[in-house]
Amino acid sequence: MECAMKDVEDNSYSIRAAGKKWGIPASTLTFWLSGLTTTKRRGPPTILSLEEELEIVDWCKDMVQLGHGLEIIYLKSHVAHICETRPNPFKNGFPGRSWWTGFRKCHPDLTIRTAEGLDRDRAVMLRPSIVTNFYDNLEKLYNAFEYGPTKTWNSDEIGVQAGRNCGMRVIAKLGSRSVPQILSKSREWITILCCVNATGHSIPGFYLFKAKRQLKNYIANCEPGACMATQPHAWMTKELFLNWLYHFARSILGGVSPTNRHLLIFDGHRSHVALTTIHEARSLGIDLLTLPAHTSHKLQPLDVSVFSPFKAHFKFERSKWMAKHPHIEIRRTDLTELASKAFKLARVLELDLVSTCHSSIS
């Protein structure tokens, strides 16, 4: 009740909105604010004051922003430390499950989420000064060459595997204790270099296979214009990236030249920024801009706009293929075909999003 009254008094919410947020009828809240009801609520008094609870809520939110989210056990120990000199109903002086349940009910803006791993290098490098410097360089290039959306490109790599990970959620009979799922023993792996522009159009994929030599055409069923290469570890190298740069220039409608320049944004992996690559890009009319080191998890557009739907579509296409061919292992030709289909579906979704954004802006 105190929390709801504070929200109304601070003009943060209307009476109806505050009542809905805290699960209190609007009429009850109105009576309390008007002074018609002064009876204290039933039950024992709260262990923490309203100010202390709100301070803890802000602390939880701030720690998440700093990358050090609090576990429930840590929060409980903090509350136990606050209350160690006060009378409290906690068993052995430590809050239990019921306290946490009540605390969450009083503060519904808190929830439990699975934390994503973030190594220290990424946390340190994602600083305002570094990000600002990147966008300053981007602005200088825009002002110098006035790239349109069709001339602004973003590229990145993604890997896919033929074998399926366990843990799929499938339909089963109620009460089933064991639900088996046949897994492919194939460990075939390919790396795909993807590139799209700001209008959602893309360059045909560049498929990289783990092999010492090319034995056959593994991309026969992929999108037109796709290219392939082999490497003993399926890693991108400076020689392969230079070959992809030529593939990129050939695939652009209208061509690329020093008088028709295009901007390519990508991560600064050492295989991407060899001196030969930089010189060739300049001569072709391609301006290169690398994302700051250890910041691609926040600044790489492809992770959300393309790769996220691609992974979902690829898993679906792989599941369909395995259901139709339960006794056959996925070969390289099959794997590239599935990846190509998934990319096509992901790009269709991206084009829909881009057209929606343009429509809303206009």
For residue 117, tell me if it sits in a domain. Answer: no
Q: What is the pLDDT of residue 337?
A: 94
The verdict on 304 and 229 lying in the same domain is yes
Domain that holds residue 22: 2-106
Report the number of distinct structural domains present in the chain: 2
Q: What is the pLDDT of residue 41?
A: 54
Q: What is the pLDDT of residue 305?
A: 78
Model confidence pTM above 0.85: no
For residue 19, tell me if it sits in a domain. Answer: yes
The verdict on 302 and 197 lying in the same domain is yes
112 with 71: CB under 8 angstroms?
Answer: no
- Report the CATH number at residue 192: 3.30.420.10
Q: What is the pLDDT of residue 353?
A: 46
Question: What are the Cα distances from residue 281, in Å, to 201, 242, 248?
Answer: 21, 9, 10
Q: What is the pLDDT of residue 191?
A: 93
The verdict on 336 and 248 lying in the same domain is yes
Q: What is the pLDDT of residue 116?
A: 65
- φ, ψ of residue 171 in degrees (nearest 5): -80, 130
The verdict on 272 and 148 lying in the same domain is yes
The verdict on 145 and 15 lying in the same domain is no
For residue 355, tell me if it sits in a domain. Answer: yes
The verdict on 249 and 353 lying in the same domain is yes
Mean pLDDT (10-residue bins), the chain, 362 residues: 74 80 79 65 70 88 76 88 86 87 87 70 68 89 90 92 70 79 77 90 92 88 93 89 94 89 89 88 92 78 84 88 85 92 78 46 41
Q: What is the pLDDT of residue 74?
A: 86
The verdict on 146 and 292 lying in the same domain is yes
The verdict on 28 and 139 lying in the same domain is no
Ordered DSSP codes for 260-284: B-EEEEEE--TTT--HHHHHHHHHH
For residue 120, tell me if it sits in a domain. Answer: no
The verdict on 158 and 93 lying in the same domain is no
